Amino acid sequence: IFYASKRETQAEMAHTCRGTINLSTAHIDTEDSCNIVLSNGGRTYHLKASSEVERQRWVTALELAKAKAIRMRNNQSDDSGDEEPSSQSDKSELHSTLKSLASKLEDLSTCNDLIAKHGAALQRSLSELENLKLPAESGEKIKAVNERATLFRITSNAMIN
């Protein structure tokens, strides 16, 4: 069960609860880059994150909590006694997935380091080239390339952070 609060300030959040929603039967949707909609039957909750990254963290956490709630509901209604093997296979699958994600995260970290290293080298080279005494036409082209490199650096930094 997910608890939602209507709050005017952070301090009031712990004291004012707007209700609950059963995640195992809830529908989780995103409206835009910062908004999440939780609905279940007649109840709908609109949540707003401070950024797209935070919204994605919330959606991921809610989806994981929903999957856990569904498993718990199914385990409670399943009296066949074969819960342990499926639990072990779930653990094995989770371990495999975590291992794969850790490997991909390491690859992303390596790519991040390479982008930062090569981006800095490109920026230095362009600055050195800009400082050379060249005809006016060459200077304009160098300036355009330098602006594009700056846009690339800004974009890659935004992606990395």
- Give one DSSP letter per residue of 48-66, joined into a string: E-SSHHHHHHHHHHHHHHH
Write out pLDDT tens, residues 96-143.
Answer: 888 888 888 888 888 878 888 888 888 888 888 877 777 777 777 877
Q: Is residue 88 part of a domain?
A: no
Question: Which sign, positive or negative, has the C-alpha torsion 135, 138, 144, 146?
Answer: negative
Q: Which amino acid is at 131?
A: N
Q: What pLDDT is recorded for position 6? A: 46
Write out pLDDT tens, residues 54-96.
Answer: 888 888 888 888 888 888 888 777 655 554 556 788 888 888 8
Decide if pLDDT at 7 tops 70. no
Q: Is residue 84 part of a domain?
A: no
Q: d(Cα 150, Cα 126) in Å, to the nearest integer?
A: 10
* 62 and 131 part of one domain: no
Measured CA angle at 100 (ends 95, 103), to 5 deg: 125
Read off the pTM.
0.41
* 71 and 109 part of one domain: no
Number of domains in the chain: 2
Domain that holds residue 143: 96-161
